[in-house]
């Protein structure tokens, strides 16, 4: 794949831009200072680039400018040093784009209520870029999206300026591969796939990414890079769906799914173990399969396997709710009127992110049937209404008074900071969707596994 770049002949504009990148004189604008954008900005600034974050949330923009870190994967001391040195700043204005040499788009790409792709953030940002575009700029999209977005949506909006792609300006797609909370693989040491609209675009984009990322993987087009991203997460979604369905089958057969998986994991070849849970959450896995399935319909192709996996994963919160109903019923209690403590609303262990968290769906389903639900999460002090989740909730402390009023506990996120031995001592019924109680003395608690 490296040969893709060997035939590139850059014109004078591309050559000048490439030289600015190589000498670190290029001004980098990162649009969106979230879990993808801020770590990227920090890595660029650490090697000497001046970086401006265009962040529409004024609170976040101010936090960047005052070196108040809000992304766990960014080190506090790095942000403090870089802001103090004038290498990173933030603004809510798009006017800075006129001065930027490199523009990287890192905005959300959610789903609509009907599970269709919502690329409105990309469209709105591209419109702003088009209003400021000039010769000698690289625009790289990192937001996860369906194959074709860069060339079918972004490129025409930029090309309407009359400038020629590959000669006057350069466009690429390079999917983010951020895994929040992963201490081993970071922005710097995670392989970076890059696809350019033209060979010149690919050359310039790879030059830019190689300044901060150890291994850059060039591919033949933005669409290949876009497909790579949605495939990676669809792969995970499908395998999670398989093991979630296995969990539901084991429940019917009165088998311990965790024992089955532990046994299967002893095979040294031919299997990669995934684990069940209350559903899937986060910014990618719940969304990307639907992006791919939506795009496939444009080609009269039905991705039945992928869509089925999505349906199974969406069913898991309902399965968890039913487990709670059964557990309470065996104790002679109805769900209606019971107080349920949900442990963890982050979508995975030890992170500050509840987007698309299945725990929120579990809460909604339990409350819909008359339960009074509270939650405890040391990483998520508050949950604000967003999308289909209409409530404002605040994390509660695990006090003696709370334990005395709780009828059942549902473990939806297995944070390491929670004392599960104490949970076993204080709770009478525990529905454990993450196998967090494995090896914990159960005392008088009745533990119901997924």
pLDDT score of 122 more than 70: yes
d(CA 436, CA 450): 11
The residue among 188, 189, 294 whose CA lies nearest residue 234 is: 294
Tell me the average pLDDT across 412-432.
Answer: 97
pLDDT score of 113 more than 90: no
d(CA 218, CA 225): 9
How sure is the predictor about 5, in pLDDT bands with cuts at 50, 70 and 90? low
For the ranges 183-187, 288-292, 327-331, 421-425, the lowest mean pLDDT is seen at 183-187
Tell me the average pLDDT across 262-288.
Answer: 92
pLDDT score of 163 more than 90: yes
d(CA 234, CA 227): 10
Per DSSP, 164 falls in state P
Tell me the average pLDDT across 113-126.
Answer: 92
- Share of the chain residues as helix, strand and coil, in percent rounded to the nearest 5: 40, 15, 45
Residues ≥6 apart with Cβ < 8 Å to 46: 78, 82, 212
How sure is the predictor about 186, in pLDDT bands with cuts at 50, 70 and 90? confident
Contact predicate 308/238, CB 8 Å: no
DSSP 5-67: GTT----HHHHHHHHHHHTT--EEEEE--STTHHHHHHHHHHTT-EEEEE-S-HHHHHHHHTT
Percentage of the chain modeled with pLDDT above 90: 87
- Quickly count: other Cβ atoms within 10 Å of residue 90's Cβ: 25
d(CA 436, CA 263): 18
Q: pTM of the full predicted structure? A: 0.90
The single residue of 53, 106, 206, 284 carrying the catalytic annotation is 284
Residues in the chain: 450
pLDDT score of 233 more than 50: yes
Domain 2-220 bears CATH identifier 3.40.50.300 = no
pLDDT of res. 330: 96
How sure is the predictor about 6, in pLDDT bands with cuts at 50, 70 and 90? low
Tell me the average pLDDT across 223-250.
Answer: 96
Q: Where are the beta strands (DSSP E) in 200-276?
A: 216-219
How sure is the predictor about 55, in pLDDT bands with cuts at 50, 70 and 90? very high
By CB atoms closer than 10 A (0-12, 13-18, 19+), residue 176 is buried
The residue among 445, 444, 446, 421 whose CA lies nearest residue 436 is: 421
- The helix/strand/coil state of 393 is strand
Angle at 348 between CA 423 and CA 359, to 5 degrees: 70
pLDDT of res. 1: 46
Contact predicate 163/135, CB 8 Å: yes
Name the residue ranges covered by the structural domains of the chain.
2-220, 240-449
Greatest CA separation for the chain: 79
Query: Looking at domain 240-449, which CATH architecture does it have?
Result: 3-Layer(aba) Sandwich (3.40)
Place of tokens 């999917």: 175
* pLDDT averaged over every residue in the chain: 94
Beta strands 192-196; 169-173: pairing state? antiparallel
Q: What is the pLDDT of residues 140-159, one digit of tens each?
A: 999 999 999 999 999 999 99
**Would residue 284 show up in a list of annotated catalytic residues for this protein?**
yes
Residues ≥6 apart with Cβ < 8 Å to 245: 312
CA dihedral 159, 163, 168, 169 (to 10 degrees): -30
pLDDT score of 429 more than 50: yes
pLDDT score of 345 more than 80: yes
On the CB side of 314, CA atoms within 13 Å amount to: 11
How sure is the predictor about 3, in pLDDT bands with cuts at 50, 70 and 90? low
pLDDT score of 276 more than 90: yes
Percentage of the chain modeled with pLDDT above 70: 98
Per DSSP, 116 falls in state -
Tell me the average pLDDT across 183-189.
Answer: 86
Going from the C-alpha of 184 to that of each of 13, 39, 100, 187, 349, the distances in angstroms are: 38, 15, 32, 10, 15
d(CA 158, CA 143): 17
Q: What are φ and ψ of residue 126, in 5° steps?
A: -65, -35
Tell me the average pLDDT across 396-407.
Answer: 97
pLDDT score of 322 more than 60: yes
């Amino acid at each position: 794949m490296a040969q893709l770049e060997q035939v590139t002949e850059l014109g004078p504009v591309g050559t000048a831009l490439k030289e600015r990148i190589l000498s670190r004189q290029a001004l980098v604008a990162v649009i969106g200072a979230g879990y993808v954008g801020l770590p990227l900005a920090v890595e660029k600034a650490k090697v000497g680039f001046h970086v401006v974050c265009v962040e529409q949330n004024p609170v976040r923009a101010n936090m960047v400018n005052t070196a108040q870190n809000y992304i766990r994967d960014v080190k506090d001391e790095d942000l403090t040093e870089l802001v103090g040195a004038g290498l990173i700043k933030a603004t809510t204005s798009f006017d800075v784009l006129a001065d930027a040499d490199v523009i990287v788009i890192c905005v959300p790409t959610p789903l609509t209520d009907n599970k269709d792709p919502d690329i409105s953030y990309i469209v709105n940002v591209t419109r702003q870029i088009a209003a400021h575009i000039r010769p000698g700029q690289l625009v790289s999209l990192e937001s996860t999206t369906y194959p074709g977005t860069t060339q079918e949506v972004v490129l025409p909006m930029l090309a309407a300026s009359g400038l020629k792609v590959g000669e006057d300006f350069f466009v690429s797609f390079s999917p983010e591969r951020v895994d929040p909370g992963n201490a081993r693989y970071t922005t710097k040491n995670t392989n970076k796939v890059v696809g350019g609209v033209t060979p010149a675009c690919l050359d310039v984009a790879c030059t830019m990414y190689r300044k901060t990322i150890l291994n850059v993987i060039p591919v033949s087009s933005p669409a290949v890079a876009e497909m790579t991203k949605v495939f990676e997460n669809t792969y995970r979604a499908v395998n999670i769906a398989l093991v979630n369905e296995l969990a539901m089958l084991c429940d019917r057969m009165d088998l311990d799914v965790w024992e089955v998986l532990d046994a299967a994991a002893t095979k040294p070849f031919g299997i990669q173990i995934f684990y069940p849970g209350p559903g899937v959450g986060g910014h990618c896995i719940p969304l990307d399969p639907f992006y791919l399935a939506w795009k496939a319909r444009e080609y009269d192709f039905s991705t039945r396997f992928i869509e089925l996996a999505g349906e199974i994963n969406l069913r898991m919160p309902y399965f968890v709710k039913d487990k709670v109903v059964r557990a309470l019923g065996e104790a002679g209690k109805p769900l209606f009127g019971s107080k349920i403590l949900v442990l963890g609303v982050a979508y995975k262990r030890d992170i500050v992110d509840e987007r698309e968290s299945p725990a929120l769906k579990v809460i909604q389903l339990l409350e819909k049937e008359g339960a009074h639900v509270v939650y405890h999460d040391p990483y998520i002090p508050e949950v604000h209404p967003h999308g289909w989740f209409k409530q404002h909730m605040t994390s509660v402390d695990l006090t003696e008074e709370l334990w005395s009023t709780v009828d059942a506990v549902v473990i939806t996120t297995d944070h390491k900071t929670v004392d599960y031995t104490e949970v076993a001592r204080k709770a009478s019924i525990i529905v454990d969707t993450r196998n967090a109680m494995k090896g914990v003395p159960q005392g008088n608690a009745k533990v119901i596994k997924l």
